[in-house]
Structure 1
Amino acid sequence: MSKLNDRRKEISELSAGEAQNQVKELRLKLFQLRLQQQRGEVKNSRVFAQTRKDIARLLHRLTVLENEQ
């Protein structure tokens, strides 16, 4: 399986609390990436899009969990 499918499967198995924690961690990572970009330290700019997409996947998972209740 591809890394993307592995990540999707991993996210689909998270509980609400775990998903919220990961959203916080990814938002912090995105903030740190922005700071590194300003200093010219970021070599792979694709990391920004991947991080934003992971945040969106987690937020979608949280919405699905809320609707199930």
Structure 2
Amino acid sequence: MSKLKDRRKQISEYTVSEVQKELKDLRLKLFNLRLQQQRGEVKDSRVFAQTRKDIARLLQRLTVLENE
């Protein structure tokens, strides 16, 4: 399996509290990446897109859990 499929499967098994904790961690990671970018320390700009996509996946999972 690819990393993306593994990540999707992992997120689909999260509970509400796990989603909220992971969401908080990823938002902090994105904030720190932006700070590093301003200082010129970011070498791989793909990390931004990957982090934003993970945040979107978690938000979608949170919506599904809240509607159940």
TM-score (norm 2): 0.99
Query: Over the residues paired in the alignment, what is the CA RMSD in angstroms?
Result: 0.3
Residue number in structure 2 paired with 1:47 = 47
In structure 1, the residue matched to 2:18 is 18
What is the rounded CA distance, in whole Å, between the counterparts of 1:11 and 1:39 in structure 2?
Answer: 32
1:61 corresponds in structure 2 to: 61
Long gaps (5+) in structure 1 = none
Matched residue, 2:38 = 38
| Percent of paired sites with the same residue | 79
Distance 1:59 1:16 in 2: 10
Q: Structure 2 unaligned segments of length 5 or more: list them.
A: none
Letter in 2 for 1:9: K
C-alpha separation in 1, matches of 2:66 and 2:25:
21
1:27 corresponds to which residue?
A: 27
Runs of 4+ off more than 2 Å: none
Q: Paired residues, what number?
A: 68
